[in-house]
Amino acid sequence: MKIDGPLVPAIFIERPNRFITIIEIGGKEYRSHLPDPGRLKELLVPGASLLARPAPKDTNRKTAFTTVMVNMEGQWISLVSTLPNYFIKYALQNNTLPILSSYRLVRPEVTVKDHRFDFLLNDNNGKDFYLEVKSVTYVRNGIAQFPDAVTLRGMKHAKALMALINNENNAAGILFVCQRPDAISFEPMWERDPNFSSALIDAYRAGVKVWCITLNVSQTEITFNNEIPVNLEKR
């Protein structure tokens, strides 16, 4: 899937709040929107190389750019937490993701009671399958982990998907999309958010499918890299 451009090289200076980065372009500092509210402390370090997208000229935004990618040890990592959703939608429409090859996209953003899930799919038998997609950027010692900040929303999603299976005889899954190619396995980050991690393993034991894939990320496109093993047991 192509990455929307143009993207401008920049340098990370600081992060005054969750959604703002101060970046340097051509010797001048700018405020730039950060579309990933995670902690990102291992990625956003002073002097890190970034790619930023200029804000559209016909908007009243208070930020001149959007911080799109960071380079870590020669590898681009996406900082757009919604990009996995666009990628999964593209993959479903073009049947390019092996783990979802037996599902058909019905519609994105489906609401069930008080919860909104990313996708409603049908399997080969026409059975509804509710899919939630989570963006992952944190990798330590080859292990992708989520979340890197407490996620009450994520915990509620896991519990709601479990309820769909237990009470309404539906099928459901959570797909973690690692926006970098260097992870070889996935684990929930128990020490950061034990409530989400417990809800995830409860959902899995109830029948919610849990997958993780990695992506190849370049300045111009993202592509499927690999499906990696998932380990949900608490260390």
Q: What is the pLDDT of residues 202-220, one digit of tens each?
A: 999 999 999 999 999 999 9
Sheet of strand 209-217, all strands in order from the earlier edge strand to the far edge: 104-112, 115-122, 128-136, 171-178, 209-217, 222-227
pLDDT of 203? 96
pLDDT of 101? 93
pLDDT of 187? 97
Q: Indicate if 83-227 has the same CATH topology as 8-77.
A: no
Mean pLDDT of the chain: 94
Amino acid found at 136? V
SS3 131: strand
pLDDT of 147? 95
Which class is 83-227 in CATH? alpha beta
Cβ atoms of 165 and 172 closer than 8 Å? yes
Architecture of the domain delimited by 8-77:
Beta Barrel (2.40)
pLDDT of 61? 87
Q: How confident is the model at residue 166 (pLDDT cuts 50, 70, 90)?
A: confident
pLDDT of 5 above 90? no
Q: What is the mean pLDDT of residues 82-102?
A: 95
pLDDT of 64? 94
Sign of CA dihedral 221, 121, 153, 189: negative
pLDDT of 167? 76
Domain boundaries, the chain: 8-77, 83-227
pLDDT of 32? 97
Query: To the nearest whole percent, how much of the chain has pLDDT over 70?
Result: 100
pLDDT of 235? 67
DSSP character string of 206-231: HT-EEEEEEEEE-SSBEEEEEE--B-
Q: What is the pLDDT of residues 44-89, one digit of tens each?
A: 999 999 999 999 887 788 899 999 999 999 999 999 999 999 999 9
Task: Show Cβ contacts of residue 200 under 8 Å, excluding neighbours closer than 6 positions.
Answer: 158, 174, 188, 210, 232
Query: To the nearest whole percent, how much of the chain has pLDDT over 90?
Result: 86
> What's the pTM?
0.94
